[in-house]
Amino acid sequence: MPAFLPTRRDLLLAGAAGATVLGLPRPAGAVLKLDITQGVVQPLPIALPDFVGANGADAEVARNVTQVITANLKRSGLFAPISPQAFIERITNFDQQPRYPDWRVINAQALVTGRMTRQPDGRLRAEFRLWDVFGGAQLTGQQYYTTPENWRRVAHIISDAIYERLTGEKGYFDTRIVFVDESGRKERRVKRLAVMDQDGANVRYLSRGDEDVITPRFSPNSQDITYMALNRGAWRVYLMNIETGQREAVGNFPGMTLSPRFSPDGQRVVFSAEQGGVTSIHVMDLRSKQIFRLSNSGAIDVAPCYSPDGRQIVFASDRGGSAQLYLMGADGSGQHRLSFGDGSYTTPVWSPRGDLIAFTKQGGGQFAIGVMRPDGSGERILTAGYHNEGPTWAPNGRVIMFWRDPGGAGGPSLHTVDLTGQNEQRVPTPSYASDPAWSPLLS
């Protein structure tokens, strides 16, 4: 882990200062924007020539930054990077405007140029400009300063800036994934907590594998996670700061505890606990350590998840005879059924935008990942297979990550799918992987 990791605020403050230097006025008629609210979107052709470097070492970092940005935008499914072999103009001077006709002839709608420069104090200065090729205008320009080992982080932040300028919505590239790394033979699988960048890079292990771990979940406003671990023959809920590695047990509960998740303000943890054959939803105030019971149906109530405003909780229950989704107020009031489709519904997760709830649906020999509105309408299946499970949302609410286990001698792997269901991608991990949870944008 680098000794110096700038916060998103530090980098954006540097970028804001650079925007004044790099910004150029746009003609009133220049409009380049992707409408991503209308279902399947035709990917936008975009040219990303290698960033310019002042010397050999800078040029190598510049190429690496360009490759990460290109991969991020392509993987989103919203952009179609043009092959560098088609480029006519070779960008060698970052300070000059591009020759627009050379980019129009290869149908580049947008163009990104950049420069990486080593500073006298050893830091890297990263600059980029985003151009509207057919409008003949610069859309945005920023610069950032960071240590050389954090070049990949800068690439993700630049990717987010491009994504936001062209779609009007926040990006999701400067984020992390916490997950369960699984290695070894299937009957003796070693499970370790791990964290990585959203594209699978910079994997770091948070536990040694000497205890089973499941269901890690990020706090919505910090780099803390909650998870469950089998310790001395009992499952316990833990909190861990992924930067320091410090952890603490969140109380001792009688019976089995399941599926801990943070409230939107990070001050409470909601979970299910089994007592006397009944599994109910409980919430714990992390400051006072007080525990309150929210459901008491006499059935199995599990997998609670807060709405983004903290006012409601969605959960799964078999109180109606099969596992279905239910909704209640954050105080346990107004419990009512949400899903009425065939099959079983589990692992509901509220979108950060508040407009959808993702879930796992089992039926017909398959496990599907789907979404529905918070009133239960508009159910759509995004992907289905032998065993798909555990959806988690990107912070912009446009992409879902989940894990898939094909069965047999193999093991689980991580995948993403967007809300169209048309753009599914496998996420690289060192070995088998399950139980992913997406972080907020880093800060």
Per-residue pLDDT tens over the stretch 180-235 = 999 988 778 899 999 999 999 999 999 988 888 889 999 887 778 989 888 777 78
Q: Where in the chain is the domain with CATH 3.40.50.10070?
A: 44-167
> 36 pLDDT band (50/70/90 cuts)?
low
Residue 83, pLDDT > 80, answer: yes
Is the pLDDT score of 112 beyond 90? yes
Quick: pLDDT tens for 340-377: 988 999 999 999 999 999 999 998 888 999 999 999 99
What's the per-residue H, E or C state across the chain?
Answer: CCCCCCCHHHHHHHHHHHHHHHCCCCCCCCCCCCCCCCCCCCCEEEECCCCEECCHHHHHHHHHHHHHHHHHHHHCCCEEECCHHHCCCCCCCCCCCCCHHHHHCCCCCEEEEEEEEECCCCCEEEEEEEEECCCCEEEEEEEEEECHHHHHHHHHHHHHHHHHHHHCCCCCCCCEEEEEEEECCHHHCEEEEEEEECCCCCCEECCCCCCCEEEEEECCCCCEEEEEEEECCEEEEEEEECCCCCEEECCCCCCCEEEEEECCCCCEEEEEEEECCEEEEEEEECCCCCEEECCCCCCEEEEEEECCCCCEEEEEECCCCCCEEEEEECCCCCCEECCCCCCEEEEEEECCCCCCEEEEEEECCEEEEEEECCCCCCCEEEEEECCEEEEEECCCCCEEEEEECCCCCCCCEEEEEECCCCCEEEECCCCEEEEEEECCCCC
- Find, among 213, 129, 219, 149, the residue nearest to 443 by Cα: 219
Instruction: Report the pLDDT averaged over residues 229-257.
Output: 80
Pairing of strands 278-285, 291-293: antiparallel
Q: Does domain 44-167 have CATH number 3.40.50.10070?
A: yes
- Contact between 272 and 259 under an 8 Å Cβ cutoff? The reply is yes
Both tokens assigned to 181? 């790394």
- pLDDT score recorded for residue 244: 87
Tokens of 51: 């960033």
Looking at residue 237, its pLDDT comes to: 86
CA dihedral 176, 283, 279, 330 (to 10 degrees): -90
Q: Mind listing the pLDDT tens digit for each residue in 373-410?
A: 999 999 999 999 888 999 999 999 999 999 999 877 78
Q: Into which CATH architecture does domain 176-441 fall?
A: 6 Propeller (2.120)
Task: Enumerate the CATH 2.120.10.30 domain ranges in the chain, comma separated.
Answer: 176-441
The per-residue pLDDT for 384 is: 92
The alpha carbon of 61 is separated from its chain's Cα centroid by a whole number of angstroms, namely: 25
What whole-number distance in Å separates Cα of residue 361 and Cα of residue 217? Answer: 21
pLDDT digits (tens, 9 = 90+) for 265-324: 989 999 998 887 789 999 999 888 888 999 988 889 999 999 999 999 999 999 988 999
Q: What span, in angstroms and rounded, lies between the C-alpha atoms of 362 and 339?
A: 13
pLDDT at 43 over 70: yes
Measuring CA to CA, how many Å separate 77 from each of 80, 86, 94, 326, 429? Answer: 8, 21, 28, 33, 21
* Residue 12 pLDDT: 40
- pLDDT at residue number 155: 97
| Alpha carbons 130 and 165: distance in angstroms, whole number | 9
